[in-house]
Structure 1
């Protein structure tokens, strides 16, 4: 057994690695050994199943926040489509068009620090009358308990709110709101019984220690699903010229989160094709239990049929 297979075996037998061992996953030069072990760890907890989700950008651009990675911030000059809360037909069509495919979850995402109350109520009314068989998720910003309750009553079962990065690195990517506001939102959603999807973005200049610190924050919050996003630099944002990730590093990051959260959903989302390139089809072998398919917030994504073909080709099946 290689060193990572030994770590995986320890995890399966309830022996948690220490920080040095976790960091070794991010720093190894032996990707083949790592993928062999992460595949076995993933197989133990998830067999060959894959979880698919898709998002609808329900309100685009004009955001008051200054997150340096984001094309939707009004502080920058990215060339994106901007629109207020979408017409109800777009939401209904999104639900209807995905009703008969193998997507597990549909998510409604909005720009801005938070969605205003009347728009929250409008979204809630639309989804509560949709009678969809899909699980529904909201990513609507920093909401209070009353606003979260409106969503919960409407049938939205998961709330998505990323921490983005470590506490120490956070002020290098955003200054208009603080880390604790994000933590409080996640805690409120957990307290109210939502399944919580919370992760980060990688490739912004963070260190391996920052990745470890983020994982520790997520563990303390006991989130249910960890989305892994890779920076896809967009012209007009402060990070437009960043190119900090190799395909190999992306796979190490996915494997790291599988080892750190062996029985949690690890969903690889934005930037997976652009960053992983020729190694993209290893996304599940590295430890991902799911992917986001379809369009992203401001960019075209990969077609659902292409992802289904890849999943079958690699010997996996949609949950």
Structure 2
């Protein structure tokens, strides 16, 4: 019986146990906290039927006003550095920033964090423009069912995403893909995902559970069951022992974290950092990691690591640093 059959036959706990043996063998002892940094709330495509940005296209009259201020972006990166968080990737909708602008932002983040940053900016032909400020490129595959992908994400061709990832490999960049569970896929579709990872030599996979946004066709849908989610992650860990796995969950599903880590997650993501810092929710994240026996890189509770109200990188960031820290402290007792 293969791994997919075990999911279908409700043998997910067995998959999780087998995945944990791989985790121990590979020495996956540290869990990272990951945060996507958004560049804009605008996407020129705006037709992915699950996405919040699809509800904004007709509301935003001037896309330039949906762009975040660059000092705010860099201040967020600086605080991630202080708190020991990884930057999951820079994320922006199509045509929100020009390539030159994204490269400049990535360069400044590289100076702050001393690490290259991942990109998740859609299908791009400009990868040659980037250098050491970029560690890798993320393709928004979104679902493990190709027919479903064409329906849900009509403007993001899987072939074009694959070609971009192959080009990234040729240029020496790492490759990642994102997958959202709960869009209508079935366990049988995992085989397509496995082939896609092999075909494009993927280094990193980021799983999310569906977040049903109001105004989308999924607004009344349920998030995927925790053991199904864990079973899918365990299957990927068992099939690809050395791949990096990041798992996203939401504040109403923090109990997913422990099983996802045992299933193979190397990092966890999708948290409102400054709203959760120092709260019972932030503490719960740390407890979930603790009871898996892993060491957590980064903090959700150590107020001292917030540091000074001024930037150590550029004084233009000071007002945003102060705002973010004050927001974190204001939420501390909630």
Fold shared by both chains (TM-score > 0.5): yes
Please, which of 133, 136, 141 is the counterpart of residue 163 of structure 1?
Answer: 141
Report SS of the residue matched to 2:261: coil
Please, which of 180, 199, 209 is the counterpart of residue 220 of structure 1?
Answer: 199
Report SS of the residue matched to 1:158: strand
Report the CA distance shift for 1:288/1:93 in structure 2 as closer, same or farther (over 3 A): same
Give the structure 2 partner of residue 123 of structure 1: 105
How far residue 62 of structure 1 moved from its aligned partner, in angstroms, is 4.2
Contact 1:65 1:177 in 2 (8 A): no
Please, which of 261, 273, 288 is the counterpart of residue 310 of structure 1?
Answer: 288
Report the CA distance shift for 1:114/1:200 in structure 2 as closer, same or farther (over 3 A): farther
CA RMSD across the alignment: 2.9
Number of residue-to-residue matches in the alignment: 290
Q: Which runs of 5+ in 1 are unaligned?
A: 1-19
Contact 1:114 1:142 in 2 (8 A): no
Q: Separation in 1 of the partners of 2:229 and 2:276?
A: 18
Give the structure 2 partner of residue 17 of structure 1: none
Give the structure 2 partner of residue 58 of structure 1: 39
Say if 2:239 is the partner of 1:257: no
Give the structure 1 partner of residue 81 of structure 2: 99
Report SS of the residue matched to 2:246: strand
Report SS of the residue matched to 1:98: helix
Give the structure 2 partner of residue 6 of structure 1: none
Say if 2:181 is the partner of 1:202: yes
How far residue 27 of structure 1 moved from its aligned partner, in angstroms, is 1.4
How far residue 46 of structure 1 moved from its aligned partner, in angstroms, is 3.2
How far residue 116 of structure 1 moved from its aligned partner, in angstroms, is 2.6
Q: Separation in 2 of the partners of 1:238 and 1:77?
A: 16
Report SS of the residue matched to 1:201: strand
Say if 2:272 is the partner of 1:295: yes
Say if 2:220 is the partner of 1:241: yes
Q: Which runs of 5+ in 2 are unaligned?
A: 298-334
Q: Separation in 2 of the partners of 1:43 and 1:77?
A: 49
Q: Deviations over 1:196-236 (max 9, x none)?
A: 12131111111222222122111211110111111111110
Q: Separation in 1 of the partners of 2:210 and 2:122?
A: 20
Contact 1:161 1:197 in 2 (8 A): yes
How far residue 306 of structure 1 moved from its aligned partner, in angstroms, is 4.6
How far residue 291 of structure 1 moved from its aligned partner, in angstroms, is 1.3
Give the structure 1 partner of residue 54 of structure 2: 73
Give the structure 1 partner of residue 91 of structure 2: 109
Q: Separation in 1 of the partners of 2:6 and 2:209?
A: 18
Instruction: Provide TM-score, normalisation by structure 1.
Output: 0.80
Give the structure 1 partner of residue 14 of structure 2: 33
Q: Separation in 2 of the partners of 1:76 and 1:236?
A: 12
Report SS of the residue matched to 2:237: helix
Report SS of the residue matched to 2:16: helix
How far residue 87 of structure 1 moved from its aligned partner, in angstroms, is 1.3
Q: Separation in 2 of the partners of 1:203 and 1:261?
A: 22
Q: Separation in 2 of the partners of 1:133 and 1:279?
A: 32
Higher share of residues assigned helix: 2
Instruction: Provide TM-score, normalisation by structure 2.
Output: 0.76
Give the structure 2 partner of residue 21 of structure 1: 2
How far residue 122 of structure 1 moved from its aligned partner, in angstroms, is 3.7
Contact 2:89 2:120 in 1 (8 A): yes
Q: Separation in 2 of the partners of 1:257 and 1:295?
A: 27
Report the CA distance shift for 1:97/1:250 in structure 2 as closer, same or farther (over 3 A): same
Give the structure 2 partner of residue 151 of structure 1: 130
Contact 1:105 1:134 in 2 (8 A): no
